[in-house]
Amino acid sequence: MTMKIEKIINDPTPYDLGEDHLSSAIDTPLRSDAFDLSDPEKISRIQEHVKEILLTLGMDLTDDSLKGTPKRVAKMFVNELFGGLHPDRRPSLSTFENKYKYNEMLVEKNITLYSTCEHHLLPIVGKAHVAYVSNGTVVGLSKMNRIVDYYAKRPQVQERLNRQIVKELQNVLNTENVACVIDAKHLCVNSRGIRDISSSTVTGEFGGVFQEEGRKNEFLKYIQLETEF
């Protein structure tokens, strides 16, 4: 972890995505008719497509272990893995006045993250570390976890996920002073292709005061602290 964090501090170029980077847009690519179908209608359609995929692969769907798989997969896609696509599932994010005048950074680290790579539809598993400096308002700690979970539950690329988390908190808290670092394993790398099981991907998004070297270093040191109980 230390080598990865030092790379973020000393080498800003991995986050200069360039105009031609496929994942540089902050919005998840959705069609204008993305929500014309109800969830049950989507489940019904996906179920039939999954059934055809399994049949094409030669699977015997009359087997007790497989006959329910198409519906299980369809329900999982709509209700769980990709549930964050629907705006109705966006978490309610009430804010409160910072009555105790806490003016230092607040860090929520080691937020468990489960997402899905949009290139191969394989899991992304890792940790998100989120911080902000209050501009007069604060948000409940669990809401930061919910923001991560909401944007993770959709076909994703890690760079976009990083930016969406930061942008959402910036809007909610009315401040640019938000940062997020994600360290995650991509099973499209670990279980197929190069099959490198030891590598992980680290991305960072730093807004407002977190673009200052001192604040950024402080945040990165915080997330390396061991949590003991």
Active site residues: 117-120, 158, 186, 188
> Which tokens sit at 215?
């604040």
3-state secondary structure labels for all residues of the chain = CHHHHHHHHHCCHHHCCCCCCCCCCCCCCCCCCCCCCCHHHHHHHHHHHHHHHHHHCCCCCCCCCCCCHHHHHHHHHHHHHCHHHCHHHCCCCCEEECCCCCCCEEEEEEEEEEEEECCCCCEEEEEEEEEEECCCEEECHHHHHHHHHHHHCCEECHHHHHHHHHHHHHHHHCCCCEEEEEEEEEHHHHCCCCCCCCCCEEEEEECHHHHCHHHHHHHHHHCCCCCCC
> Which tokens sit at 165?
């988390």
